[in-house]
């Protein structure tokens, strides 16, 4: 990407969904404007902030102060940090808290946190009183470029990740890039996998820009905001074309079929963060594509080398600990949401920036590939 980097005014990306369109506002130090934005969007509303214990320590007080300064009454609902909070038990806890706080259909839920909080709070908003609107305030890089945009809400099941959920768009996304300054380096790296994904799936120029500028993205400043804005524009365009993932939106799952299987096998734990699983999954998807003769091996090597340079896992052996056998991994792959009538669907690639949906992939080919990767440890 050759667009000039800039500082100053927030960048606004619109998600064009007709009557359900909303803005993604991107920039530093936007949290202080949260109350004013909500008061203008929904005058007289009450707010329930759903957050986790870690984010609450860093950003809850500032969020509450911003709301109260704008005359917006608010209450907080706090859940434990980590993927384990995307559960039926925590969904019940959040819904009960929203009802106890007397959140009505004209009020708002604010999801203050990373992807776990956004998915959980969004799904709680879907089912409470048959639908309460919500605002995303993503506090991780992964959430700012991916999970806060597009209206996917979900919790996990023992059968796999995000298998219980609904499409439900937010009414506003406020992506304060200053909040990323408190992220542990590992969490930031994991989020970067989703940034690289946009280049790998559909924008070779952006991927080349990332190869040259990824260290500046990690350091912060205009390069970080530029990368986030490009990622959000890419996702907004795809969501506007295919809100409910029946066509083009499947491309956003590049790396996720393999990745979700490894994430589930790791017990949705800190052993393998979601973004790390996506990086591993994208590496496997590019290697599998090359194995099938779909793209040059040099393209696969280039994609894998960039992810590895950023400190992300690209080989099964990069993740400590053991894995189920090939039968167990194939069972997890078969639970992928893109499976149709038992037939496997993968997002593969014909080159950097040229991902496509491959339906009815031969399970025997996947099994042989997985057996090789698992044995390579």
Each residue's pLDDT tens digit, 178-205 = 999 989 999 999 999 999 999 999 999 9
CA dihedral 211, 214, 215, 219 (to 10 degrees): 170
> In terms of CATH architecture, what is 254-377?
Up-down Bundle (1.20)
293 burial via Cβ count (<10 Å: 0-12, 13-18, 19+): exposed
> Model confidence over 253-264: pLDDT tens digits?
999 999 999 999
Q: Is 263 annotated in the active site?
A: no
Just give the CATH number of 11-182.
3.40.50.1970
Q: In order along the chain (377 residues), what is the average pLDDT of each group of 10 residues?
A: 61 96 96 98 97 97 98 98 94 98 97 97 98 98 96 90 93 97 95 98 98 96 94 96 89 95 91 96 98 97 98 96 94 78 88 95 94 88
Choosing from 260, 306, 337, 373, which is the catalytic residue?
A: 260
Residue 249: active-site member: yes
Tell me which of 253, 287, 337, 373 is the catalytic residue. 253
28 included as an active-site residue: no
Which residue among 42, 274, 306, 337 is the active-site one? 274
Contacts of 21 (CB under 8 A, 6+ apart): 14, 15
Task: Tell me, yes or no, if 42 is annotated catalytic.
Answer: no
Per-residue pLDDT at 374:
94
Nearest by Cα to 169 from 139, 118, 133, 215:
133
Q: Using an 8 Å Cβ cutoff, are 171 and 108 in contact? A: yes
Q: Residues 249, 306, 337, 373: which is the catalytic one?
A: 249
Distance CA 154, CA 149 (A): 13
- 197 catalytic per annotation: no
Does residue 86 have an active-site annotation? Answer: no
- Least Cα distance to 315 among 349, 291, 279 occurs for 279
Q: One of 28, 59, 189, 256 is an active-site residue; which one?
A: 256
Locate the domains of the chain by residue range. 11-182, 254-377
Q: Tell me whether residue 130 is one of the annotated catalytic residues.
A: yes
194 is annotated as an active-site residue: yes
């Amino acid at each position: 990407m050759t667009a000039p980097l800039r500082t100053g005014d927030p960048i606004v990306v619109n998600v064009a969904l007709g009557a359900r369109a909303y803005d993604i506002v991107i920039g530093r130090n936007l949290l202080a404007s949260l109350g004013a934005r909500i008061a203008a969007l929904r005058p007289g509303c009450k707010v329930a902030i759903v957050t986790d214990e870690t984010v609450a320590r860093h950003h809850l007080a500032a969020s509450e102060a911003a709301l109260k300064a704008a005359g917006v009454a608010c209450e907080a609902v706090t859940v434990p940090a980590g993927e384990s909070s995307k559960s039926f038990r925590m969904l019940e806890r959040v819904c009960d808290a929203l009802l106890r706080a007397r959140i009505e259909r004209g009020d708002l839920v604010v999801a203050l946190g990373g992807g776990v909080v956004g998915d959980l709070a969004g799904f709680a908003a879907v089912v409470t009183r048959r639908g309460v609107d919500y605002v995303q305030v993503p506090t991780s890089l992964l959430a700012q470029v991916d999970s806060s945009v597009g209206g996917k809400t979900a919790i996990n099941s023992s059968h796999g990740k995000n298998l219980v959920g609904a499409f439900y768009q937010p009414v506003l996304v406020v992506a304060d890039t200053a909040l990323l300054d408190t992220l542990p380096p590992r969490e930031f790296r994991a989020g970067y996998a989703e940034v690289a994904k946009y280049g790998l799936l559909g924008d070779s120029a952006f991927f080349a820009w990332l190869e040259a500028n990824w260290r500046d993205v990690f350091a912060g400043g205009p390069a970080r905001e530029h990368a986030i804005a490009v990622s959000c524009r890419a996702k907004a365009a795809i969501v506007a074309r295919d809100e409910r993932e029946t066509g083009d939106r499947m491309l956003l799952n590049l790396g996720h079929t393999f990745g979700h299987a490894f994430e589930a096998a790791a017990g949705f734990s800190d052993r393998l963060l979601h973004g790390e699983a996506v990086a591993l999954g994208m590496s496997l998807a590019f290697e599998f594509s090359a194995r099938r003769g779909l793209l040059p091996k040099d393209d696969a090597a280039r994609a894998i080398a960039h992810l590895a340079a950023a400190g992300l896992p690209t080989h099964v052996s990069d993740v400590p600990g053991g894995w189920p056998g090939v039968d167990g991994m194939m069972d997890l792959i078969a639970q992928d949401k893109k499976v149709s009538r038992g037939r496997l669907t993968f997002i593969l690639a014909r080159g950097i920036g040229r991902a496509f949906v491959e339906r009815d992939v031969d399970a025997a080919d996947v099994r042989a590939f997985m057996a090789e990767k698992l044995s390579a440890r």
